[in-house]
Structure 1
Amino acid sequence: MTIEKNRPATVRTQGMPPLEPITGGPRTAVSAAVAKRLFHAAVSRLAITVVEEPTGRRLGQGGPVMRLHRPDEFYARLGRAGLIGFGEAYLTGAWDAEDLAGFLTVPAARMATLVPQPLQRLRALVTPRLPSHHRSTEDNSQANISHHYDLSNDLFRLFLDETLSYSSALFDTSLQSAPAGPGSVAEHLVATTPEPVDHDDPRRHGPDLAAAQGRKIERMLDQAGVTEGTRVLEIGTGWGELAIRAASRGARVHTITLSVEQLELAEERIAAAGFADRVEVELMDYRALAATGRTYDAVLSVEMIEAVGHEFWGTYFRTIDQVLAPGGKVSIQAITMPHDRMLATRDSHTWINKYIFPGGFLPSVEVIDQITRGQTTLRLVDQLEMGSHYAETLRRWDRRFLGQRESVLALGFDDMFMRVWHFYLAYSQAGFASGYINVSQLTFTREDR
């Protein structure tokens, strides 16, 4: 499905649905009481401190501090909507934490065992399901993408570095070999943890962030064998940095996106770099690629598979397989989660889905390997794991986002939007810092028929 440029995008000024009020009644009272008991049991096993106001009661084993300003509301929201309610209680100010990412990292590391095993079997009965209009079908996908990426180019400029790369950077650290394990399928490389760098002005990034984003892209281009004359397909344009760097190597690039705002700025940046004649940017769903009849020597995609939806992972990789020329290579940067957690949470509706990425869901490396082996001629031949680098990338984004508060408000966003995005960035940082989620560069070659 090729989409006309003038097709209206769904632009949401605040990028979030309204918060539902807490209602009383027996059901709320019972669910809040159960949530309180489960929360206290979980906290008692964690290296955190929870302070209940106004009594000053302290829970936990000591560590990063969470303050419950309105405990009754917190337990009611937690009981009614689980982790979505946990996040919503932060949005309303029912609880807070000075070091939000540091606090969230502790429970994130134990996420799979915080709820007792017998109760986890009831998950399907109490966990909200993904709404049908969030499924990443051809009809829904542009609205899902637009919800986030068409908020405002100026907003993203406030906290990203000058490359406008909205994905994990790869800092200048050593690479170590690691055996197969959770989140991997064979011996692979792991980028060692980068040193955090702070500066006096939180509105500025360290000079190495842009370099680290460039390093990430250049490695992917190397893995895909992009050189002079290479025909490159990029699925998910972003703001054009990968396309610019591929064109600077002499490649000819076809890059597709579903974001109207990203397309317009990417075209401006590509033209300014002098590569308008080498790069074609198109508003297109990846599923429309097969019908074009075009083939490519290299296919690259940076953190786009997360928006595909588990129902369509096979379609995604079969499409890549179909458009890849003989001898071609594929390089994908993917956010992943452990296979068992992926199976347990499939079809769940999460706080991130509701407020940030409608329809998003993370694959495991194992399921990517299963799908490509079972449904395509693609074969996973290289993995670079770099989750700690995403934690540092997010830490810098969050610090700069908070430091740009007045500029964010000047764009027409409000204080609630600030809390939503601070929670999103800190929540994501905690996921990578704890190892609950990960990110890898995955390289595929093709077994030609």
Structure 2
Amino acid sequence: MPTIPSLPILDSSRPDDAHLSHVDPKQWPGVAHVPDSIGITVRARLAEAAFARACAKAGLSTDPSGNPDVEVLHEALFYRIAESGWLGFAESWMAGEWRAENLAHVLEKLISVGYQPRTVTRSKVRPDESEEAGEGIIPPALVGLTSFDGLSVHGGMFASGVPTTVRTKVSESTYADVTEWSAPVDVERADIRDAHARAVEKLLDACEVRAGTQVLELPVHSGAVTAAAAQRRAIVDAMTTRRELASWLKEQLVLQGVDDAVHIGVTEKTIPAKLSSRYDAIISTERYELLPPRDRSRMLAIIDRTLAPGGRAGLQSLVALPALNQSGIRSMDAIRAYIWPALSYPQLDQVRQDIAATSRLYIETENHFGIHYAYSAELQAKLFVGNAREAAAEGFDSVFRKLWEYYFGVKQALLNLQMIDAVQFTLATRSPRTR
């Protein structure tokens, strides 16, 4: 059994903020200051001991004299953990108070042993269920720093890997073809471009998108689906709440010479109350899990109402599996706090039930590619880290860059642990025979 690793011995006084001079307090108030609540030093000592035990249990080295998995650079780490648990752990990473050669590995190991720091109060970073919570988008400049095509932020699907398809009962009255993909082989960074494109192409193929198909992307995530559908000469409507995203996407479509086939609508709400058109195909990539439960229901309802008879809907989402523990859930606190307030991975069975509860929709196929997504997240993180200078030039400071790296790392960890999965659902409309 591994021995409890050595960690910095806490001083009797709270550390000051001198090491945080690089952090903008207006932009990052939670990172710019070390917590100073009542009794924090005593609680920080306890947090340090608990962290040491968790690292030992996980087999993580913290010995600075060797080659540590986790290198603690400042004792403020334990003050943050004592104050806000996993959120504090992530904020300390963002502040540069600890480092890891392989962040995803460290997160995976800590989550696997159920590391759950004690705090005075339960974490306040709960999924936000307000209507505005689902409106978060990735800044367009960031998309180009994490992909080769400048449009993709979704998980990719690589050419290698063996699919296994089984006819599976997914609701009381419905069976679907459920495909599981084995791990890809010999994946390299350059493969991410094709992997991104392949994931989109599979959605478009499943929805039978071709020339003249009426397509809706609801809501736009980064534009990859809209651009690929337009390349097939489909007629595309794309919905977003953000004018800056609409303008940027228009520019990208002009560069590709397909802007004439696309109408970009700016709506007041992420999921509009109603749409006047009917569509042969409706596609959404990785927005479902970012929506409050109310908007998830609205999304399925609007697909139910506006999908033409015989049409298909493609829904790509990260979903929770039964293995997801509280440590895994809390590891995403920083993502909810700083990027997507409503983020909550729905249970796979819950998604199936919600789809079955609609009046016309049923699941025709499921494509499970979580292991491919894990490789994709790893490569995207490396691509982003390699573009650090470009990211700084675009205005993304070191704190944000660390946050974005953490986001990829925690997704990779949860996917590797099979606590979450990546799934492409193909939905069809019921006919009298399938009711």
TM over 0.5: yes
Alpha-carbon offset, residue 24 of structure 1: 4.2
- Kept in 1, the 8 Å contact 2:134–2:270? The answer is no
* SS of residue in 2 equivalent to 1:297: strand
- Kept in 2, the 8 Å contact 1:14–1:413? The answer is no
Q: 2:351 pairs with 345, 368, 377, which one?
A: 368
Alpha-carbon offset, residue 342 of structure 1: 8.4
* SS of residue in 2 equivalent to 1:442: strand
Alpha-carbon offset, residue 33 of structure 1: 4.0
Matched with 1:158 is 145
1:92-150 deviations in Å (ceiling 9; x for gaps)? 2322112222222222334xx4459xx9xxx996121438xx4340x4544x33xxx23
Query: Where do 1:333-372 residues align within 5 Å?
Result: 333-339=316-322, 341=324, 350-372=333-355
- Kept in 2, the 8 Å contact 1:353–1:359? The answer is yes
Query: Where do 1:191-230 residues align within 5 Å?
Result: 191-195=181-185, 197-198=187-188, 205-206=189-190, 208-230=191-213
- Kept in 1, the 8 Å contact 2:86–2:331? The answer is no
- Kept in 1, the 8 Å contact 2:286–2:318? The answer is yes
**Distance verdict in 2 for CA 1:348–1:435, change over 3 Å:** closer
1:97 aligns with 2:100: yes
1:200-237 deviations in Å (ceiling 9; x for gaps)? xxxxx51x322222211111111112123221111132
Matched with 1:6 is none
- Kept in 2, the 8 Å contact 1:35–1:79? The answer is yes
1:75 aligns with 2:58: no
- Kept in 2, the 8 Å contact 1:14–1:417? The answer is no
AA in 2 matched with 1:288: P
Alpha-carbon offset, residue 430 of structure 1: 2.1
AA in 2 matched with 1:314: S
Matched with 1:311 is 294
**Distance verdict in 2 for CA 1:362–1:31, change over 3 Å:** same
In structure 2, distance between residues paired with 1:47 and 1:88: 23
AA in 2 matched with 1:65: D
Name the % identity.
Answer: 24
1:319-348 deviations in Å (ceiling 9; x for gaps)? 111111112211111011125748999899
1:288 aligns with 2:272: yes
Alpha-carbon offset, residue 76 of structure 1: 1.9
1:369-426 deviations in Å (ceiling 9; x for gaps)? 1111124421122111111222222222221222222222222332223322222222
In structure 2, distance between residues paired with 1:374 and 1:20: 46
Query: Where do 1:379-418 residues align within 5 Å?
Result: 379-418=362-401
- Kept in 1, the 8 Å contact 2:93–2:99? The answer is yes
**Distance verdict in 2 for CA 1:356–1:69, change over 3 Å:** same
AA in 2 matched with 1:171: F
In structure 2, distance between residues paired with 1:154 and 1:115: 35
Alpha-carbon offset, residue 85 of structure 1: 0.8
1:106 aligns with 2:109: yes
1:66 aligns with 2:78: no
In structure 1, distance between residues paired with 2:152 and 2:49: 43
Gaps of 5+ in 1: 1-11, 199-204
AA in 1 matched with 2:105: G
1:38 aligns with 2:50: yes
**Distance verdict in 2 for CA 1:342–1:236, change over 3 Å:** farther
1:151-185 deviations in Å (ceiling 9; x for gaps)? xx33332331125211011110233326799x999
- Kept in 2, the 8 Å contact 1:70–1:94? The answer is yes
Alpha-carbon offset, residue 256 of structure 1: 0.9
In structure 2, distance between residues paired with 1:140 and 1:106: 31
- Kept in 1, the 8 Å contact 2:214–2:235? The answer is yes
In structure 2, distance between residues paired with 1:188 and 1:14: 48
Q: 1:170 pairs with 154, 157, 161, which one?
A: 157
In structure 1, distance between residues paired with 2:241 and 2:256: 22
* SS of residue in 2 equivalent to 1:45: helix
1:68-92 deviations in Å (ceiling 9; x for gaps)? 2234x22221121011011112122
RMSD of Structure 2 on Structure 1 (CA): 3.4
- Kept in 2, the 8 Å contact 1:329–1:446? The answer is yes
Alpha-carbon offset, residue 429 of structure 1: 2.2
Matched with 1:437 is 420
In structure 2, distance between residues paired with 1:217 and 1:267: 19
In structure 2, distance between residues paired with 1:334 and 1:298: 17
* SS of residue in 2 equivalent to 1:306: helix
- Kept in 2, the 8 Å contact 1:384–1:442? The answer is yes
In structure 2, distance between residues paired with 1:221 and 1:326: 17
Q: Please, which moves more after superposition, 245-254 or 300-309?
A: 245-254
* SS of residue in 2 equivalent to 1:229: coil
- Kept in 2, the 8 Å contact 1:238–1:262? The answer is no
TM-score of the superposition, structure 2-length normalised?
Answer: 0.82
**Distance verdict in 2 for CA 1:272–1:405, change over 3 Å:** closer
AA in 1 matched with 2:156: A
**Distance verdict in 2 for CA 1:114–1:347, change over 3 Å:** closer
In structure 2, distance between residues paired with 1:348 and 1:395: 17
Alpha-carbon offset, residue 15 of structure 1: 7.1
Q: 1:135 pairs with 113, 120, 129, which one?
A: 129
**Distance verdict in 2 for CA 1:342–1:47, change over 3 Å:** closer
In structure 2, distance between residues paired with 1:86 and 1:220: 37
- Kept in 2, the 8 Å contact 1:47–1:64? The answer is no
- Kept in 1, the 8 Å contact 2:315–2:426? The answer is yes
Gaps of 5+ in 2: 1-23
How many residue pairs align between the two structures?
404
